[in-house]
Amino acid sequence: METIIQDTIGQLRELALASRLKRLSDTFMRDVSAVYQQYHLDFDATWFPVFHLLSQRAPQSVTEIAEALGVTHPAVIYIVRQLGQHGLAASEKSSKDSRKRMVRLTKKGENLIPQLQPLWQAFIEVNQQLLSQQQHNLLFALEEMEAMLVTKTHFTRVMEHLKSKQQEQVEILDFEPRYRAFFKNLNLAWIEKYFQVEEPDLKTLEHPEEYILSKGGYIFFARYQGEIVGTCALLRQEEAVFELSKMTVSEQHQGKQIGKKLCIHAVEKARQAGAKQVYLETNSRLLPAIALYQKVGFRKVAMGHSPYQRADVKMVIDF
């Protein structure tokens, strides 16, 4: 059964990277603890990082130990408790801060160090032999991996990758008469949810060809899994100035990077059309939308006159 489990984890390769590292760690921990037992030493391999740190620098608070080792507070507290139960470490209130407890080795713990050191040296030499026999040095690879995860966590990398994949599934389409109803209905849905539909809304939504396209503007649609789920428009206000307007994504499809892809596409289209500036008007209540615009590169400027009563925020992006 054990061979089957190991083969299964190995076959999963990148998918089981964490599980494989855990399995390797468990193997080392088991064998190191067995060596301690062979020499009749009441010491567990999992205690080593905290114990060794205290043997070099003491006393140390739990926070200092956690930061030095790059592990969690609960993990340090658990090991300190284990060391305390075996009489190897003790804690006392800090003389500088009574809320803080400082941990140090007991006399028993200090007396154990000379018995552990020959074994630690053996671990170093055997591990050096193992590493030297590898085509790719595991220690160097681990150092590289840890450094990469310090600059950007695994969680952040996975979330960014998933968002990128979601964007790849989104198609941006130009206006076609058959999409006209989506332009109107998607926009009415969000406007009516938060505000009142105004006269300028009705003009552009009822007659997009007349008020947007015929004046040199553009209308785009986002298709996701075969369904039109988002839209936005570029209104040409001056020769080199466009307004980004009527951008929305259906409520059930928000959070999939669709709005961001629409916005980036529209801004790039304006740039290609010779725009020197793209601006938009929105409302301060729409915080997610404002955050999206800022990520794309828009910045807030002073609000001037607007045909929309709901507009109280103006943002621009210059080329």
d(CA 7, CA 20): 11
Mean pLDDT, the chain, rounded, equals: 92
Sign of torsion, CA 210 213 215 217?
Answer: positive
Output the CA–CA distances (angstroms, integers) from residue 306 to 123, 130, 240, in the order listed.
73, 72, 19
What pLDDT, in 10s, does the model give residues 265-277?
A: 999 999 999 999 9
| DSSP per-residue codes, 174-227 | E--GGGHHHHHHHHHHHHHHHS---HHHHHHHH-HHHHTGGGT-EEEEEEETTE
Three-state DSSP at 293 gives helix
What pLDDT, in 10s, does the model give residues 41-82?
A: 999 999 999 999 999 988 999 999 999 999 999 999 999 999
- Domain(s) labelled CATH 1.10.10.10 in the chain stretch across 39-151
The per-residue pLDDT for 99 is: 78
The per-residue pLDDT for 68 is: 94
The per-residue pLDDT for 7 is: 66
CATH number for the domain running over 165-318: 3.40.630.30
d(CA 308, CA 198): 7
Question: Mean per-residue pLDDT for 182-189?
Answer: 97
Residue 306 has pLDDT above 60, yes or no: yes
Tokens matching residue 235 = 């209104």
Half-sphere exposure of 319 (CA within 13 A, CB side): 16
Tracing tokens 């404002």 back to the chain, one arrives at 290
- Domain(s) labelled CATH 3.40.630.30 in the chain stretch across 165-318
What pLDDT, in 10s, does the model give residues 142-156?
A: 999 989 988 998 899
Report the residue count for the chain: 319
CATH number for the domain running over 39-151: 1.10.10.10
d(CA 131, CA 78): 31
The per-residue pLDDT for 1 is: 46
Question: Mean per-residue pLDDT for 237-245?
Answer: 94
